[in-house]
Amino acid sequence: MSSLSTHVLDTALGRPAAGVPVELYRGDVLEASGTTDADGRVALVPALGPGTYRLRFDVTTYAESTGQDIFFPEVSVTFTVADERHYHVPLLLSPFAFSTYRGS
C-alpha cells in the first residue's frame, strides 16, 4: 500500500496556507477529507491501493479567510498511484494561478 500527504503554500502571501479544506476522491467516492494545519499540511489516508485519485482543494474558503480575491474557486489535481511508495502532492497557490508537482 502507498501513503499520501499534501501541503499548500500561499505564494502571494509567502506563507503556508492554513485552513484549506482538502478532499480525496477515488473515482466519485470520497475516500478522506481534512483541513491544512498551521504549516499548510494535511495527511489524508494511511494507505492507498493502485488507481487514479483526485485531490480537491477548496480555495474559496481559504481566500475568504485571508481577504484575497481568487480566480479559481477550487483546484482539482488528478494523479495515479502505480506502486508502493509515499506520494506527496503539494499545491502552490496565488489569487490568479496555481501549480503542483509530484514531491518526495
CA angle 71/77/83 to nearest 5° reads 165
The whole model's pTM is what?
A: 0.93
| Count of C-beta atoms within a 10 Å radius of residue 19 | 16
pLDDT of residue 56: 97
Q: What is the mean pLDDT of residues 77-96?
A: 93
CB of 7 closer than 8 Å to CB of 104: no
Q: Is 61 helix (H, G, I), strand (E, B) or coil?
A: helix
**Encoded amino acid at 60, one letter:** T
CA distances from 99 to 3, 31, 92 (A): 21, 23, 5
Alpha-carbon distance of 45 to 32, in angstroms, equals 7
pLDDT tens string 58-67: 999 999 999 9
pLDDT at 45 over 80: no
